[in-house]
Amino acid sequence: MDLKELYLRQRVAAASAAAATSPQAKLSHRELAANYADRIENYDASGEERYSSSHSPQPGAVDEDASSLRALLDPKLATASR
């Protein structure tokens, strides 16, 4: 899976957590989004395939790093970074 796909899946999981109506669903989606953020952070060491030249992201399409994505998921991190 390339970085573009990881970022997309992470964003979908984060949006699903924000829209969840039950605490169990919210927690499940947050954990999934956090797992994607971990994969993004550790992408170089994971051996996952990088973008090919034909599938590189458009400039600005993937502009967040994994730490900022994690801050969106964890309110404690968001307030600590301010």
Per-domain residue ranges of the chain: 1-52
CA pair distance 33, 9, nearest whole angstrom: 8
**pLDDT per residue over 18-68, tens digit each?**
999 999 999 999 999 999 999 888 887 556 655 544 444 444 444 445 555
Whether the per-residue pLDDT at 10 is higher than 90: the answer is: yes
Beta-carbon contacts of residue 33 (< 8 Å; ≥ 6 apart): 10, 13, 14, 17, 69, 73
Question: Where do the H-state alpha helices sit in the chain?
Answer: 3-19, 23-41, 43-46, 66-73, 75-80
Whether the per-residue pLDDT at 75 is higher than 60: the answer is: no
pLDDT score of 68 = 58
pLDDT score of 81 = 47
Whether the per-residue pLDDT at 5 is higher than 60: the answer is: yes
Question: CB 7: neighbour CB atoms within 10 A?
Answer: 21
Instruction: Between 64 and 9, name the one with better pLDDT.
Output: 9
